[in-house]
């Protein structure tokens, strides 16, 4: 039974909204809110996730309404009167188990935040008898999965009911930790959205705090009320073109590269909760957010506000908050010669010069102050990947890429296909390693060809919706083939960052090394 009130027997009139959730008849107070808030906030259903706060663009909150997939965050709850809603928890247990096996057996779920919504999309398609793989891929246009790069998600569709062996256990978890550089579990429960995310595990009576316009936090009993107090404005996509913020260094270079601002685009927005006098939950419950949450302010805010109010507080950023204030990889503008010499200008970021010079000692690094969002060296391969790409472009070929961890990757890009080989010690679990490498390859391809953020002259980010980030969709992603090479060194090392740099370089060379990114397809 859900947490809402059951409708009285006999059909008596009530003042609320009556509908069915996972087979239970519920009555909730009449509201002009959305279905996702009713499911999560009033009924306690945590499988629908809030990834875009709410823009209707990430698909994480997808449920079935009368059997049809519906993005619940933009579905008015009043329209649900008398209708039947099915969440992931309401699927037949056998069907739910088969989806969990399919996603863990293919590596189609990593952090697990987006997976419940995708499963519900797939469940709706299967119930309608859909078999066309192109239609399945197009259905993912309603979703964002930043971890997996889509291919393993589509493989999970094909694997449903074929009992693939799920990857799990110590080896899988350790490989996920190495690749994500943070705690990450690999299990059937993760594919079902049970990764222990802070917004799901916060006590039901916790106060909710959200950032306000003054730089502080608005605190209220519910997220809806807190957002009203904070004056949250729904994000928009700007019509202003995104341009690289740095000028290339003068010189007659063999190749020039200028990168734009890009958004890490992790799905679970920064959230932490804390009891008075306690320790806050981690905003990294399951997955590393590609390094972008390393210094998230939500944990300290939850601790301080809990002590101040004498109650448990959950501090939550919206999608707009993470885009405006979350760290980005530092944009660069470089020129290089085939002999490995050159100049790389980079937005000033602690540690970035050392990261570049470790792999490209022939590049002179010039750090430049630029108005814009914060940057961080902790984001996937920040600085050194750009150096690898620049030098590969100057040479005219990629060659093996050796990461700071000592992993080796090579990549080749041709029309419709990306081929990758990686050597990174003991694979521990080949399915997990392959999944991370496919995700990194997709991220690199997308970064070079399509991704950017418009940032105005004062440094304010203008692109605030998920679809404005430029992330390449499932139907636009080349086939990615991964070969895991044997390694004489048994010590496992992060392989996906080497793959990320190698694919970025190979993609740029494939496109003819145009100087400005995104370079187009």
Residue-by-residue DSSP string for 432-476: HHHHHHHHHHHHHHHHHHT----B-TTS-B---SGGGS-PPPGGG
Residue 304 lies in a domain: no
User: Is residue 23 located within the same domain as residue 168?
Assistant: no
Residue-by-residue DSSP string for 189-256: HHHTT-S--HHHHS-TT-EEEEE-TTSSEEEESSHHHHHHHHT-------SSPP--SSPPPSS--SEE
User: For every residue of 152-186, which 3-state class applies, written as one string?
Assistant: HHHHHHHHCCCCCCCCCCHHHHHHHHHHHCCCCCC
Residue 215 lies in a domain: no
User: Is residue 348 located within the same domain as residue 366?
Assistant: yes
Which residues pair with residue 209 across a beta bridge? 219, 315
Of the candidates 30, 57, 89, which is a domain's last residue?
A: 89
The confidence score (pLDDT) of residue 306 equals: 98
User: Is residue 62 located within the same domain as residue 156?
Assistant: no
User: For the segment 195-243, what is each residue's pLDDT rounded down to a tens digit?
Assistant: 999 999 999 999 999 999 999 999 999 999 999 999 998 888 899 899 9
Q: Which residues are CB-contacts of 390 (< 8 A; sequence separation ≥ 6)? A: 255, 257, 332, 334, 336, 342, 344, 360, 363
Tell which residue, 401, 209, 417, 412, has the closest CA to residue 300: 209
Task: Describe the strand order of the beta sheet including 217-220 as a list of residue ranges.
Answer: 217-220, 207-211, 313-316, 271-274
Q: What is the CATH number of the domain that holds 190?
A: 1.10.150.120
Of the candidates 89, 108, 139, which is a domain's last residue?
A: 89
User: Is residue 111 located within the same domain as residue 160?
Assistant: yes
Residue 218 lies in a domain: no
The confidence score (pLDDT) of residue 164 equals: 64
User: Is residue 469 located within the same domain as residue 504?
Assistant: yes
User: Is residue 68 located within the same domain as residue 114?
Assistant: no
The confidence score (pLDDT) of residue 11 equals: 33
In which region does residue 220 sit, left (phi positive, over 0), alpha (psi from -120 to 50) or beta (all else)? beta
- What count of residues does the chain have? 521
Q: What is the CATH number of the domain that holds 50?
A: 3.10.20.30
Domain count across the chain: 3
User: Is residue 396 located within the same domain as residue 485?
Assistant: yes
- Gap between the Cα atoms of 192 and 204, Å rounded: 21
> Where residue 273 falls among pLDDT bands split at 50, 70, 90?
very high
pLDDT at residue 7 is higher than 50 = no
Structure tokens at 64: 């079935």
> Where residue 165 falls among pLDDT bands split at 50, 70, 90?
confident
Structure tokens at 260: 């734009």
Question: Average of pLDDT values for 80-103?
Answer: 97
Residue 465 lies in a domain: yes
Q: What is the CATH number of the domain that holds 395?
A: 3.30.365
The confidence score (pLDDT) of residue 521 equals: 84
User: Is residue 79 located within the same domain as residue 163?
Assistant: no
Tell which residue, 173, 168, 144, 157, has the closest CA to residue 99: 157
- Gap between the Cα atoms of 151 and 479, Å rounded: 7
Residue 126 lies in a domain: yes
User: Is residue 463 located within the same domain as residue 429?
Assistant: yes
User: For the segment 294-306, what is each residue's pLDDT rounded down to a tens digit?
Assistant: 999 999 999 999 9
Q: What's the distance, CA 132 to chain centroid? A: 27
**Helix-then-strand count for the chain, H and E:** 15, 17
User: For the segment 364-376, what is each residue's pLDDT rounded down to a tens digit?
Assistant: 999 999 999 999 9
What distances in angstroms separate CA 74 from CA 59, 90, 234, 345, one per listed residue? 10, 21, 12, 43
Tell which residue, 331, 396, 394, has the closest CA to residue 363: 394
User: For the segment 169-188, what is each residue's pLDDT rounded down to a tens digit?
Assistant: 899 999 999 999 999 999 99
Residue 427 lies in a domain: yes
User: Is residue 341 located within the same domain as residue 395?
Assistant: yes
pLDDT at residue 8 is higher than 90 = no
Tell which residue, 7, 8, 10, 45, has the closest CA to residue 28: 7
User: Is residue 54 located within the same domain as residue 96?
Assistant: no
User: For the segment 304-320, what is each residue's pLDDT rounded down to a tens digit?
Assistant: 999 999 999 999 999 99
Three-state SS at 368: strand
Burial pattern 398-435, b for ≥16 Cβ within 10 A else e, equals beebbbeeebbbbbbbeeeebbbbbbbbbbbbebbbbb
Q: What's the distance, CA 344 to chain centroid? A: 28
Phi, psi of 291 (to 5 degrees): 90, -5
Instruction: Provide, rounded to the nearest whole percent, the portion of the chain with pLDDT above 70.
Output: 97
- Gap between the Cα atoms of 468 and 108, Å rounded: 24
What domain range includes position 55?
16-89
User: Is residue 449 located within the same domain as residue 488?
Assistant: yes
Q: What's the distance, CA 277 to chain centroid? A: 32
Residue 7 lies in a domain: no
Of the candidates 150, 181, 196, which is a domain's last residue?
A: 196
């Amino acid at each position: 039974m859900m947490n809402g009130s059951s409708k009285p027997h006999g059909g008596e009139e009530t003042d609320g909204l009556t509908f069915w959730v996972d087979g239970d008849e519920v009555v909730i107070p009449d509201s002009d809110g959305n279905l996702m808030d009713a499911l999560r906030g009033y009924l306690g259903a945590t499988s629908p996730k809030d990834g875009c706060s709410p823009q209707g663009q990430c698909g994480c909150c997808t449920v079935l309404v009368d059997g049809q997939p519906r993005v619940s965050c933009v579905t008015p709850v009043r329209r649900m009167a008398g209708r039947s809603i099915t969440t992931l928890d309401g699927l037949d247990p056998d069907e739910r188990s088969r989806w969990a096996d399919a996603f863990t057996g293919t590596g189609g779920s990593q952090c697990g935040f987006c997976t419940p919504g995708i499963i519900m999309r797939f469940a709706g398609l299967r119930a309608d008898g859909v078999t066309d793989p192109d239609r399945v891929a197009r259905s993912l246009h309603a979703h964002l999965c930043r971890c997996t790069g889509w291919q393993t998600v589509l493989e999970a569709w094909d694997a449903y009911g074929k009992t693939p062996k799920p990857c799990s256990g110590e080896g899988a978890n350790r490989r996920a930790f190495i690749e994500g550089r943070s705690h990450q579990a690999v299990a059937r429960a993760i594919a079902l959205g049970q990764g222990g995310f802070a917004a799901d595990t916060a006590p039901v009576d916790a106060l909710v705090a959200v950032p306000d316009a003054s730089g502080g936090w608005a605190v209220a009993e519910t997220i809806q009320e807190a957002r009203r107090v904070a004056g949250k404005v729904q994000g928009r996509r700007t019509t202003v073109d995104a341009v690289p913020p740095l000028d290339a260094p003068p010189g007659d270079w063999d190749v020039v590269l200028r990168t734009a601002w890009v958004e890490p685009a992790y799905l679970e927005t920064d959230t932490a909760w804390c009891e008075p006098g306690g320790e806050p939950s981690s905003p990294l419950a399951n997955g590393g957010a590609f390094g972008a949450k390393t210094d998230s302010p939500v944990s300290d805010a939850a601790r301080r506000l809990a002590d101040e109010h004498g109650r448990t507080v959950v501090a939550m950023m919206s999608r707009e908050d993470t885009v405006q204030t979350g760290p980005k990889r530092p944009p660069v503008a470089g020129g290089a010669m085939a002999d490995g010499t050159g100049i790389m200008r980079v937005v000033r970021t602690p540690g970035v010069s050392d990261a570049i010079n470790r792999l490209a000692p022939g590049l002179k690094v010039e750090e430049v102050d630029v108005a814009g969002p914060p940057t961080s060296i902790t984001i996937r391969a920040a600085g050194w990947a750009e150096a690898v790409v620049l030098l590969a472009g100057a040479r005219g070929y990629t060659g093996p890429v050796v990461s700071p961890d000592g992993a080796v990757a090579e990549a080749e890009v041709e029309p419709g296909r990306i081929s990758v080989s990686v050597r990174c010690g003991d694979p521990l679990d080949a399915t997990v390693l392959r999944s991370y490498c496919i995700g990194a390859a997709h991220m690199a391809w997308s970064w070079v060809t399509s991704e950017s953020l418009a940032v105005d002259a004062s440094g304010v980010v203008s692109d605030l919706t998920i679809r404005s980030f430029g992330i390449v969709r499932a139907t636009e992603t080349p086939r990615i083939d991964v070969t895991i090479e044997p390694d004489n060194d048994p010590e496992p090392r992060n392989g996906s960052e080497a793959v990320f740099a190698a694919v970025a370089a190979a993609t740029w060379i494939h496109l003819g090394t145009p100087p400005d990114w995104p370079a187009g397809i």
